[in-house]
Amino acid sequence: MPELPEVETTVQLLRPRVVGRRVKDAEVLWPRSVGALDPDAFRQAVVGARIARLWRRAKYIVFDLERRGRSAGVVLCHLRMTGRLMVEAARHDTGPHTRVRLQLDRGVLSFVDVRKFGRFTFHASPDDVFVKLGVEPLGDGFTKGWMRRELRARRRMLKPLLLDQSFVAGLGNIYVDEALHRTGLHPLRRSDRVPPAAADRLVDEIRATLEEAVEREGSSFDAFYRTPEGQPGSYQHQFRVYGRDGKPCRTCGRVVRKIVVAQRGTHYCTRCQPAPRGRGSAG
Ligand SMILES: [Zn+2]
């Protein structure tokens, strides 16, 4: 499932190919992909507009639209489980899972999504969607002071807290497991019992994990995530714990364990990430 690094990679690689382009036509092949708007209304909203800017907020890909130099709403793309964006020089068969296709004045942008949970929706403004999102982990608001305060105030287990998009926006199962291992914090640790120095380290390690993953164009460990150029990412080769249950920890050699936390498979090392007190039996 694409998380921040995969979405950021998609934005960086698409940007030179879509910014400045005009939408000449739009085909909606799976109506639910465009959300509540009916396909004709979606077409009217986007056809004729120019893509002025492409950026990312959390796991959303944001296309800023303009008409005659004035802002004309946004398209928000959320890849969810299996969504992908591709730009081709000319229209060609992107397969049976193509859900939305935009004919641009140069090239064709396709939203392809096997499992159909992804969305490609028009909004007059992104504010209603973004108001629910927490701090951006590669942004200025993600500071050590913020983390210390918030961990104290929230009193929740670290793994579900870090997955909560209204707390930190953009993290998912992979990068939370990786960042907690790098910080030496157990996923079931209560946030208000994390010492200040560990809270500081958590900020550094979340940032470093995400930046390294963006550099390697994200993680591909199944058939789904590919860059807009059709290439897999390579960060999966750097995983310390994610998907490595039963294998030795790369830091200490002890076997990596997998437990279920908040319905999510959670990977950690019992030596590098000691269990919180009273939780000895959990690992
Ligand atoms: Zn270890």
Element housing 106 (H / E): none
Residue 190 predicted with pLDDT over 60? yes
Domain boundary among 130, 160, 189: 130
This prediction's pTM: 0.94
Range of the domain at 208: 144-282
250 CA to middle of ligand 1, Å?
7
- The CATH number that applies at residue 228 is 1.10.8.50
First to last CA, the chain: 27
17 CA to middle of ligand 1, Å?
43
Contacts of 165 (CB under 8 A, 6+ apart): 58, 59, 132, 133, 134
Residue 78 predicted with pLDDT over 80? yes
Arithmetic mean of pLDDT, 149-162: 97
Do 21 and 64 fall within a single domain? yes
Phi, psi (5° rounding) for residue 52?
-85, -30
3 is catalytic: yes
What would you report as the CA-atom Rg of the chain, rounded to the nearest whole angstrom?
20
Within a domain: 137? no
Q: Per the structure, how many domains does the chain have?
A: 2
Render pLDDT for 141-154 as a digit per residue (tens, 0 to 9): 999 999 999 999 99
Do 100 and 207 fall within a single domain? no
Gap between the Cα atoms of 172 and 38, Å rounded: 31
Burial of 59 (0-12, 13-18, 19+ CB in 10 A): buried
**Category of 262 on φ-ψ map: left (φ > 0), alpha (ψ -120 to 50) or beta:** left
Instruction: Name the band, by pLDDT with cuts 50, 70 and 90, for residue 279.
Output: low
Catalytic residue from among 2, 137, 187, 276: 2
Residue 17 predicted with pLDDT over 80? yes
Render pLDDT for 241-264 as a digit per residue (tens, 0 to 9): 999 999 999 999 999 999 999 899
Do 125 and 149 fall within a single domain? no
Catalytic residue from among 17, 43, 56, 59: 59
Render pLDDT for 198-217 as a digit per residue (tens, 0 to 9): 999 999 999 999 999 999 99
Question: What three-state secondary structure class fits 29?
Answer: coil
Do 223 and 151 fall within a single domain? yes
Q: What percent of the chain has pLDDT over 90?
A: 91
Q: 61 and 11 in contact (C-beta within 8 Å)? A: yes
150 CA to middle of ligand 1, Å?
27
Render pLDDT for 94-129 as a digit per residue (tens, 0 to 9): 889 999 999 999 999 999 999 999 999 999 999 999
Arithmetic mean of pLDDT, 23-46: 97
pLDDT of the residue at 224:
83
Instruction: Name the band, by pLDDT with cuts 50, 70 and 90, for residue 50.
Output: very high
The chain-wide mean pLDDT, for the chain, equals 95
Contacts of 66 (CB under 8 A, 6+ apart): 49, 50, 51, 52, 72
Do 154 and 242 fall within a single domain? yes
> Which two three-digit tokens encode residue 128?
């209603």
pLDDT of the residue at 282:
46
Residue type, 22: R
162 CA to middle of ligand 1, Å?
21
Gap between the Cα atoms of 170 and 173, Å rounded: 10
229 is catalytic: no
